[in-house]
Chain A
């Protein structure tokens, strides 16, 4: 019996104003897998991620670790599924870094004595110094804010981690660092991104989305090297594959 972290079956979603965002999505992700979701803008990647922890209602079409979304305790789900959003500014809303990172565990009922230790671990895991905890997020650089956002999610020790464009707007060094951190994570990863080099580095499996549907689901290198497929869906074969510099 395979251990599935996420099972999505014929998921449909329409926005309140009528636009169809997702049509008949079928996706199974095993525990420990690293899956990338690629596709042009507006494909529905972010919308799909929002179904993973119940922000958008998926009801019975979405199962997390066997639990169907309509009968699940959302608090439990959000403990198991962490979601990293694209804009760090939207995720850092507390006066200090410490409070931002502590927000999740406090909501989960983690005892107050435990909190500093978990915050410290999460910050270190994200490549930050514990000293940053008393600073305010508006004084931090974008790279630092990204890492703090990651820490704020990692601190909840999720088994499944969804990420929306984790490397966008990062300079090369910060980007490289984030990729290192993400590569070292034990959780099941589902990463929606335009950064195809990141996909090649981190995710053995890729799912291609366009216009709310899944068009391809398979081994990363083969898919991303398929020039016709890439072109058809508004993407490009990544440079490292084209020029053969990737081993």
Chain B
């Protein structure tokens, strides 16, 4: 889901902008160095492809229709760096062409829909799919990559909105994660289906990603990509900012007298516990992702 402007608190929006900018700059530099220009037309074309493919609708549940999101597919094919760059291009284009997603919220949307989707989808696929040799294994790995990346992306979205005070955490998680758990099934099946199709028709395209290898700096990079946002999210959600900064930046979308997180007094203490629990859970998931990234890098190195 693309978050419009006005729903995120300023500290949240700023920190996510910083994280996304860092990712884009780093990926830009790395793809340029590694791939000697060949990847560039590829990324642009695939960004256009994702945009176009999203117009191919699939009838779901009678009236509504769903479509491919594409983050995990892109990162499986191009690698997480080039894939997230391509996906970022799509998100910026959606904001500029369709005003789908806000301008200041761009960093948040890039983080949720590009970075999180690509990194987690890639990690899962590599862990489960290994050499992606067998058909069934490829299909399963692709499906899980697609599904999980969608769900975790929705979780981040709900978390950001909840910690900003705009949409109650509980409601956000229930609706967004719930909805995307269903939508994710379609994403998973399409991702798996397309990978399967490629395996039969153009298996060489599945080996493209080897062009942009993960190296030692990427170990650090992968962990940082994940640990920094974690720390930042936790900090931004809390009200423990240094005084002058807080005075300057602290602007929740809602008036303070209406309560933080829109929950009436008697539920406040319960929420607090929940809030911290959720934060801790997300932190753990993020660290886990970081470890995943590190492990799969090690695996690639021992393979090559």
Binding site for B on A (CB under 8 A): 16-17, 93
Please name all residues of chain B whose beta carbon is closer than 8 Å to the beta carbon of A16 when the two chains form the complex.
204
A17: shortest Cβ distance to chain B, in Å?
8
Contacts of A93 in B (CB 8 A): 41
Mark each residue of chain B from 192 to 205: 1 if its CB lies under 8 Å from any CB of chain A, else 0.
00000000000010
With A and B bound together, what is the CA distance between A16 and B41 in angstroms? Answer: 21
Q: How many A-B residue pairs have CB under 8 A?
A: 3
Closest B-chain residue to A93, C-beta based?
A: B41
**Per-residue contact bits, chain B 29-60, to A (CB 8 Å; 1 contact, 0 not):** 00000000000010000000000000000000
| Min distance, Cβ B154 to any Cβ of chain A, angstroms | 34
**B201-227, CB < 8 A from A:** 204
User: How far does the alpha carbon of A93 sit from the alpha carbon of B42 in the complex, in Å?
Assistant: 12
- The CA-CA distance from A148 to B41 in the complex, in Å, is 20
By beta carbon, the residue of chain A nearest B45 is A93
B: contact size bracket:
under 10
Please measure, in the bound complex, the distance between the C-alpha atom of A93 and the C-alpha atom of B41, giving whole angstroms. 9
Residues of A near B204 (CB, < 8 A) are: 16-17
Q: How far is the CB of B43 from chain A (nearest CB, A)?
A: 13
Interface bits B44-79 vs A (CB < 8 Å: 1, else 0): 000000000000000000000000000000000000
- 3 closest pairs, A vs B, by CB? A93-B41, A16-B204, A17-B204
Q: How far is it, in angstroms, between the C-alpha of A222 and the C-alpha of B41 when the chains are bound?
A: 44
A17 — which chain B residues lie within 8 A by C-beta?
204
Chain A residues, Cβ within 8 Å of B41:
93
* B44 nearest CB neighbor, chain A only: A93
In the assembled complex, how far is the CB of residue A66 from the closest CB belonging to chain B, in whole angstroms?
28
A168 to chain B, nearest CB (A): 23
Q: Please give the distance in Å from A18's CB to the nearest CB on chain B.
A: 12
Write the nearest CB–CB distance from B238 to chain A, whole angstroms.
44
In the bound complex, how far is the Cα of B40 from the Cα of A93, in angstroms?
12
Bound complex: CA of A93 vs CA of B204, how far in Å?
25
User: How far is B41's CA from A189's CA once the two chains are assembled, in angstroms?
Assistant: 29
Query: CA–CA, A50 to B12, complex, Å?
Result: 52
Pairs across A and B, CB under 8 Å, 3 listed: A16-B204, A17-B204, A93-B41
Q: How far is the CA of A16 from the CA of B207 in the complex (A)?
A: 13
Q: How far is the CB of B200 from chain A (nearest CB, A)?
A: 15
Complex-state Cα separation, A114 to B204, whole angstroms:
43
Within the complex, the shortest CB–CB distance from A16 to chain B, in Å, comes to 7
A45 shortest CB reach to chain B, Å: 24
Q: How far is the CA of A93 from the CA of B44 in the complex (A)?
A: 10
Closest residue of chain B to A17 (Cβ to Cβ) is B204
Q: Shortest beta-carbon distance, B58 to chain A, in Å? A: 27
Identity of the chain B residue whose Cβ is nearest the Cβ of A16 in the assembled complex: B204
Q: Give bound CA distance, A17 to B202, whole Å.
A: 11
CB interface residues, B 9-43, toward A, < 8 Å: 41
B87 CB, min distance to chain A CBs, angstroms: 20
A149 to B71, CA, bound (A): 34
A88 to chain B, nearest CB (A): 16
Closest CB in chain A relative to B189 CB, distance in Å: 30
A75 to chain B, nearest CB (A): 13
How near does chain A come to B193, taking the closest CB pair, in angstroms? 24
Within the complex, the shortest CB–CB distance from B120 to chain A, in Å, comes to 32
A70 to chain B, nearest CB (A): 19
CB distance from A106 to the nearest CB of B (A): 15
Looking at the assembled complex, report how far the CB atom of A196 sits from the nearest CB atom of chain B, in whole angstroms.
Answer: 34
Q: How far is B203's CA from A16's CA once the two chains are assembled, in angstroms? A: 13
Measured in the bound complex, the distance between the Cα atoms of B258 and A25 in whole Å is: 81
Question: In the complex, A16 Cα to B204 Cα: how many Å?
Answer: 10
Shortest Cβ distance from A90 into B: residue: B41
> Looking across the interface, which residue of chain A has its beta carbon closest to that of B41?
A93
Report the Cα distance A203→B63, complex, angstroms.
Answer: 61
* Bound CA–CA A233/B300 (angstroms): 50
Q: How far is the CA of A199 from the CA of B204 in the complex (A)?
A: 38
- A17 to B204, alpha carbons, bound, how many Å? 9
CB distance from B96 to the nearest CB of A (A): 13
Give Cα A59 to B259, complex, Å.
Answer: 73
A132: min CB distance to chain B, Å? 24
Measured in the bound complex, the distance between the Cα atoms of B43 and A93 in whole Å is: 13
- State the CA gap A17–B207 with chains docked (Å): 14
Alpha-carbon distance A6/B204, docked complex (angstroms): 34
Closest Cβ of chain B to A133, distance in Å, is 22
The smallest beta-carbon distance between B202 and chain A, in angstroms, is: 10
